[in-house]
């Protein structure tokens, strides 16, 4: 997983954002990386309108992303909390990664 980027976030600074495109092979590797390296994985599939999202397993989230659904995956990695959004795009899957701002003690 590539989590390179700027320094530590603070309450005053906006969350760190990264964007990229994943091919089908990249999406498969992405799921394997999360299973191997991340903890506290929580997945949801976004729905149209105001309906609450479906809470699903990582495997189901990846399958639904392949089918064109917008999926959010939140997890802990390297001492930080991350939220990835996967969306169908021309030529693959768009990945938007956000490092979550953690509230101070």
pLDDT bracket for residue 9 (50, 70, 90): very low
Return the pLDDT at 15: 76
CA dihedral of residues 101, 6, 95, 58 (deg, nearest 10) = -50
Residue 82 · residue 97 · CB < 8 Å: yes
Residues 6 or more apart whose CB falls under 8 angstroms from that of 93 comprise 21, 22, 26, 27, 65, 66, 86, 87
The residue extents of the domains of the chain are 41-105
pTM of the model: 0.80
Mean pLDDT, to the nearest integer, of 36-60? 91
Return the pLDDT at 20: 96
CA dihedral of residues 53, 57, 62, 68 (deg, nearest 10) = -30
């Amino acid at each position: 997983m590539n989590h390179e980027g700027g320094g530590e976030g603070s309450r005053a600074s906006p969350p760190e954002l990264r964007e990229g495109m994943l091919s089908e092979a990249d999406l498969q590797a992405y799921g394997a990386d999360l299973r191997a390296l991340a903890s506290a994985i929580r997945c949801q599939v976004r729905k149209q309108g105001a309906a609450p999202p479906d809470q699903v397993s990582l495997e189901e989230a990846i399958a639904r992303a392949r089918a064109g659904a917008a999926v959010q995956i939140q997890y802990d990695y390297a001492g930080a909390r991350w939220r990835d959004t996967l969306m169908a795009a021309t030529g693959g899957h768009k990945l938007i990664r956000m490092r979550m701002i953690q509230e101070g003690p």
